[in-house]
Structure formats: C-alpha cells, structure tokens
Amino acid sequence: MNDLDPLVTEARAEFAAALTPADLENAKARFIGKSGRVTELLKGLAALTPEEKKARGAAINQIKQQVEGALNARRSELAEAELQEQLKAEALDVTLPGRRRGEGGLHPVSLSIERIEAIFGSMGFDVADGPEIETDWFNFTALNTPADHPARSMHDTFYVEGGHLLRTHTSPMQVRYAVQHVKRHAERETRGERVPEIRVIAPGRTYRVDSDATHSPMFHQCEGLWIGENVSFADLKSVLGDFFAAFFETNDLNIRFRPSFFPFTEPSAEVDIAFASGPLKGRWLEVGGAGQVHPNVVRNFGLDAERYIGFAFGLGPDRLTMLRYGVNDLRLFFDGDVRFLSQFKV
C-alpha cells in the first residue's frame, strides 16, 4: 500500500518536531484525531465494495498502528526528556561543603572585663553589678559632691526624666554595695564587733556627653573598693601592681600615682602605667583614678569614719583593652563591624 506509507513518514516527522506534550497532542489530532487524516481514510472505506474494504481496511489499520506506535514512542521520549530536565534542575551536589552556622564570640571589652573579674576574684574581691540609670544621690551627693560642687562639671552628664541620670562613673556602686554590706552586718556593729572588710569590684557601662577617638558617650569603668580597719595606700599600690602584671602578663611595667582630685577620695591620684618594653615602651599611660576614700563617703556607707579606712579606684576597661591589643581608636569597639570584632574570637 505505497500510497499510505508517506503518511507514516509524515506523522513521524511531525511527532519528532513536537517539542512539548501539548505540541505532540496537536500533531496526534492531525493524524488520528476525530477528523485526522488516518480517521478520514477509515471513513472513506464506506464507499468501497466488501472485498476492497477488507484489503484497504487492513492496510489503513496497519498504518494507524504504526502512527500510534510512533506517537507512543515520542510520548515517552518527551517524558524522559522532561524528567532529565527536572533532575538537572534539582541536582544536589552532595560533595559540596555544608553551610555552617555563624559562630559568635565575646566582644573584646567583655573579654577584658572577664579577665578583670578573674584577677580581682583571685585577690578576694567580690563582683557587683548595679543600675546604669542612677539617682543624683548615689552618683554625686553620697560621693561628697553636693549640688553646688564645682567637681560636678568634671562630668558632662546625661540627665533623664524624673531627676535621674545615666551614671557618669561606676563610683555610685561603692555606696550601693557598702550600704548593703553594712546592713547585712548591722548586728555586729551594734555589738561593737568589727564589720568584715569590704572588698569589691563593680564593672559596667557608664555615660558622659563626650565623643572622639578616645572618648565614647558610652564607655566602661570598673570600680574597686577595699575598706577595712587598716587598709592603706600601700595596699592600693600593691593590689593595682599585681592586677596590671596579671592583666598584661608582664612584670615589666611601672606604676605611678599622679596627684589629682576627686571629691570622694583624699588624697587622690591618677594611675599611670608604663611598659618597660614593647611598642609603648617608656610612655606613661593613664589607666584610672584612685584614692583613699573620703571620711564623708565612709560615713555615707554607714560606717564609723574614725575606725574604717580604705581605698577606691576606677579603671577604664576600654583603655585597658586598647593597650592589651594595640587598638588605637576607641570607636572601633562600638561600631559593631564584624571584621574588626571577629579578630578577638577565642
């Protein structure tokens, strides 16, 4: 049946040209659909004699089967192609390294404060924490700095509503801690017994209206207080000397007390250190303030100023961190740049 053969060839070609299942279904309709060419041929059988019908019918059916075969073959080809496409798109390379969870680390100043706490802890100092929003009493008045005292202008204070302020130093913690301490031991006092020594540090955030390469409106301080019956400036010097040696891991440094003034200590001093070697060799660097606690402040602790005496100091953990790591701009600590901060990850 040579006149029918080209039909199969044509159908194969059209099926092959169909690139999507929808195209293929359209091509199918053109050959074996309701009015497709093969279907039309079958309809034409009606006009033939019974013998002709038999022979012609068999030939057309054969053609139809071939067309159907070609259609099914192309269908599975397209399905396979679609599957491959999908597999390719959803390919998962199991040999790629996994995504790791971002790992944080402590801030360099936090690392310093941890060191400070550990070192003073080993010398028998308690660690205390207190409010950053303070009252005028604890921040100034109780520290021998009454409202009209010119020393108040040493601090550019952030005042907040309700007569409160952001503490300008950690010194209010001297009073807060000492008052609690004295309360805890009130019975001993009334029996005339000795109140146990106060030995505490209080690290934390402090605030002043100040901002440049070495000053930030928020900065850190670490208060220290040691009160007893016989605590002297010599003890202060040895405590701070031991602390700096441990903090900087060197005995190669000198410590100097430079006369100064604070209303709550008398005498008062600025504390300077100088390294005997290294990049900062020989330069005096201010790292804090200190002094013998003023009798008025001892009285505000609730203690007999004739009996109890001692010293207080305030260190700058930000400054200590800069010196320890060789950082020259304080603002780097508070910009929150991960490229800077991640260098301190331990």
Residues that bind ligand PHE (CB under 6 A): 169, 171, 262, 265, 289-291, 312-314
Closer CB to ligand PHE, 71 or 312, in the complex:
312
Q: How far is the CB of 98 from ligand PHE (least distance, A)?
A: 49
Q: How far is the CB of 310 from ligand PHE (least distance, A)?
A: 11
Closer CB to ligand PHE, 195 or 315, in the complex:
315
Q: How far is the CB of 262 from ligand PHE (least distance, A)?
A: 4
Pairing, β 133-135 against β 309-315: unpaired
C-alpha dihedral sign at 293, 137, 202, 198: positive
Q: How far is the CB of 170 from ligand PHE (least distance, A)?
A: 7
Closer CB to ligand PHE, 63 or 225, in the complex:
225
Q: Which residue has the tokens 């106060």?
A: 198
Closer CB to ligand PHE, 14 or 318, in the complex:
318
- Give the three-class secondary structure for 1: coil
What is the CB-side half-sphere exposure of residue 219 using CA atoms within 13 A?
A: 26
DSSP string, 180-211: HHHHHTHHHHHTTPPPPPEEEEEEEEEE-S--
Closer CB to ligand PHE, 188 or 258, in the complex:
258
Write the single-letter amino acid at 28: K
N residues, the chain: 346
Closer CB to ligand PHE, 265 or 300, in the complex:
265
Q: Which residue has the tokens 């040691």?
A: 226
Q: Which residues touch 334 (CB under 8 Å, ≥6 apart)?
A: 216, 218
Phi/psi at 281 (5° precision): -40, 125
Q: How far is the CB of 264 from ligand PHE (least distance, A)?
A: 6
Would you tell me the crossing angle of helices 50-89 and 21-32 to the nearest 10 degrees?
Answer: 180
Q: How far is the CB of 289 from ligand PHE (least distance, A)?
A: 3
CB closest to ligand PHE, residue no = 314
